[in-house]
Amino acid sequence: MSEGNIENLLKVPKLEAFFKDYIINNKELFLGVRGECINVYYWCKSLLEISYVVDSKCNIKIHKKYVDNTALCGLKFTEKSDYMTFSLSDEFIKAFSGSYKVLKANVENEALKTKPIPVKIENKKFRIKSGEVKIANKKPETKSVEVKVGILEKKYQQIIACNNNSNKDSDWYCIDLEYRSEGIPFGRLDMVRFFRHNNNNCI
């Protein structure tokens, strides 16, 4: 992570107020740092990716599938691959605020499109004899079902983090979700958090 770029981002006019008014005070959205960008997450999906450009300006990148049917479509943007990039402006902030419910719905709909994973569940037969429960000598019935893994987990994982971070009396502060690093051999970490001192500083 380039600390210089993050520091420059936080000095961009109107960005701090945008974070405070529409992100930090909103318990549905999670603010995190990834690389040289600040990301805004909903259901652990990157809704906004904010990066520093030059001359105290920043760009905001949103996936096209989240922008559909929102007021953001009427703003000036640049398009690359599957993403649309906007400049931070009063027009963007107004369009984001007015489109917030639709943006959320678009993220939820995309998450629900996740292909279910087929699994097999054995339905074993039991019989009771002399007060003991025993498995009957009969081949278990197996049925195939499909489940969507991780959707509700990610939703409530973020809710827990957001509610905790807004609680000044909490002993810890979550700084990242679904964190992955080359040094971690077992996949992603659900949460990365700091413990607070009594003076609300972190360690």
Q: Does residue 163 have a pLDDT over 80?
A: yes
Residue 69 lies in a domain: yes
What is the number of structural domains in the chain?
Answer: 2
| 106 and 135 assigned to the same domain | no
**Of 95, 113, 131, which one is at a domain's C-terminal end?**
113
Question: Residue 133: which domain range?
Answer: 117-147
Residue 142 lies in a domain: yes
Residue 21 and residue 40: Cα distance in Å, rounded?
Answer: 13
| 56 and 99 assigned to the same domain | yes
Domain at 47, CATH number: 3.90.1150
Here the tokens at position 43 are: 């259901």
Residue 98 and residue 100: Cα distance in Å, rounded?
Answer: 6
Residues 149-155: what's their mean pLDDT? 75
Read off the pLDDT of residues 76-122 as tens digits, 9 standing for 90 and up.
999 888 999 999 999 999 999 999 999 999 999 998 886 655 555 55
| 4 and 16 assigned to the same domain | yes
Q: Does residue 16 have a pLDDT over 50?
A: yes
Residue 128 and residue 110: Cα distance in Å, rounded?
Answer: 47
